[in-house]
Amino acid sequence: MKTVFVLNGPNLNLLGTREPAVYGHQTLADVEQLCAQACARHGLSLRFHQSNHEGALLDWIHEAGRLHAAGELAGVVLNAGAYTHTSVALLDAIKGTGIPLIELHISNVHARESFRHHSYISAAAKAVMCGFGVPGYALAIDAVAQW
């Protein structure tokens, strides 16, 4: 059984109470449940994480890279939050591991402030998804299951 990593960056632990007009009312626990259901439908194993620390995200990407090298990774879904717009380190980690990754955003970042229009991650991502709300996580796993 292959593994899907769903990684969430800074402030996503606040889902449910954080700017509900932008991110909705569902919590990160709801997102994890949605991802678990999607993985179960596809016979995939789920690793679900959130951190407010860039280094923790890097460590999980490296771990996904080791699984990838062993042929045990289905793919990675990464919502890097604001690190999307700032982190060369995340770009380097994705390039360095060669993992197949979907960059995901709950909101449509292109309809928001201009500083959200640039992503360091997109250049290394296999696919980019934004604006589907929380259901986007399940759609991303559906896509990974077809890789």
Active site residue 118: no
Contact 78, 10 (CB under 8 A): no
Q: Stretches 30-38, 56-64, 76-84, 89-97: which one binds ligand DQA (CB under 6 A)?
A: 76-84
Q: Which of 64, 81, 121, 134 binds ligand DQA (CB under 6 A)?
A: 81
Specify the 3-state DSSP secondary structure of 45: strand
- C-alpha span between 66 and 106 (Å, rounded): 28
74 or 104, CB closer to ligand DQA?
104
Closest by CA position to 68, among listed 125, 145, 5, 124: 5
User: In the complex, which residues of this chain contact ligand DQA (CB under 6 A)?
Assistant: 11, 79, 81-82, 84, 105-107, 109, 116
Q: List residues with catalytic annotation.
A: 23, 105
